A and B are shown apart, each in its own frame.
Chain A
Amino acid sequence: MSDTCTPIYGLPYPIGTSRPCEVGATSCAFAEAVDTVLDSIDAVVARTATTVAMAKVAATIPVVFDSVANFSIPATFDTVLVDTDAMFSADVDASLITVNTAGLYLILCSALCDTTGVSGNQLGIAPGAFINPSAFSWLSSTVVNQNVQATAGLDIYATAMGVFPLAAGTTIGLRVNPYCTGSDLVTVFYSELAAIWLGDL
């Protein structure tokens, strides 16, 4: 029996000298090849139209920082808002999202903090997602806001986002960077981190 196949997907088909009694070999090879092609299409549908890999986690327990300037603290997440790809496990590490599906990712983070202080004091926050704990890749430059209220603190808010190519296994975290002076306090009362798959690498 002498068969050939299509140039793109390699779908086999019989030619004129093929013997009818040997139809089984070509038939099975054809069905298997078609099944493989359909599997590959299904895989694209599964990671796009069916759902995309995404996770959004939040730290909702307020953390108070006292009279310390320019330091960086990893946020510890206690709330999972969405996780379609088993990207977050508080049991493994509550400060990290792990990429399981390689691709281009939109990384989004935000934080809200409360402050005390008086005119002229600097009270700020700088959320920035990082790629792997040992290799920082900040989404935002330092956001240091000044509080000029005479008697009461003001809330400070910050959001940042960026797009990164990430391999499977890459971890993403959020560093909160409170900045205060004197006896002032910064209370980070909410922060969140999200990673959304945008496309293949």
Chain B
Amino acid sequence: MNPIGTHGLVCLGDEEYAAIALAERHNAAVVDSTVQADLAALAKYNARPYVRATLNANASGIAQSLSDWIPGNNLPGQNLFNGAFSISRIATAGISFSGANTVFSLWRQGWWMVGGYATYQCTGAVTNLSRRTLGIQWYHTVNGVTLYEANLNTSYESNTGTDAMTVQGMFYADGVHSYGADLVFAHRNSGSTMQVNSNARLWMFYLGSGVTI
């Protein structure tokens, strides 16, 4: 029998017909294991985790935040998902949810696409041209020290006091530590507090391991 290709298949030479059964059994086993492994890998890829949190009620009474974000630190502003929220999920084994200060926590190694969306309004006087910031905060704790990354978006209110914003980012989980994701709103409307309306959303999708091809 002669080896063929890269998967361990064999073929017979002429006059080797006595070994047909042996060769067919060998090739059948090779095909069986190769296809099974490929299908398992593709099924896992096809069922990549997705999760979305939706704010159930308005987050009101948000006071202005005077500080800017210092890279590496906690985002100033209000974590929108410290109240009640609902979850939509697909293939989210390994992801847990908390209403305390973290919406998602996860352990799966790889790169995650994270996005957020919110509509918001002033509850009273509008400070013209004051800043609104919507940020995704991604963090984990190592030896008691919490490390923060963030992606943020900014807009400046003109005069109506009502607006909407999206924000996106791409973040890495090392597969060893638990990572959290928050959606944080901050503003500088000094004339009144602000409210983020219900249905603000934070979503997360697994992109891949990041292993080099």
Contacts and interface: CB of A to CB of B under 8 A. Distances in A.
Contacts of A25: 14
Which one of B15, B16, B113, B168 has the highest number of Cβ atoms from chain A below 10 Å of its Cβ?
A: B168
A31 B9 contact: yes
B170 A35 contact: no
Interface residues of A, number: 58
Contact of A85 (B14, B45, B133, B213): B213
A7 B65 CA distance: 68
Contact of A49 (B16, B45, B154, B210): B45
A47 B208 CA distance: 10
B: interface residue count bin? 35 or more
A159 B14 contact: no
A35 B7 contact: yes
B12 A28 contact: yes
B172 interface: yes
Contacts of A23: 12, 14, 16-17, 20
A44 B39 CA distance: 11
Given A84-B213, A145-B155, A48 B11 contact: no
B57 interface: no
Given A45-B41, A53-B213, A35 B155 contact: no
B38 A45 contact: yes
B151 interface: yes
B42 A54 contact: no
A194 B44 CA distance: 24
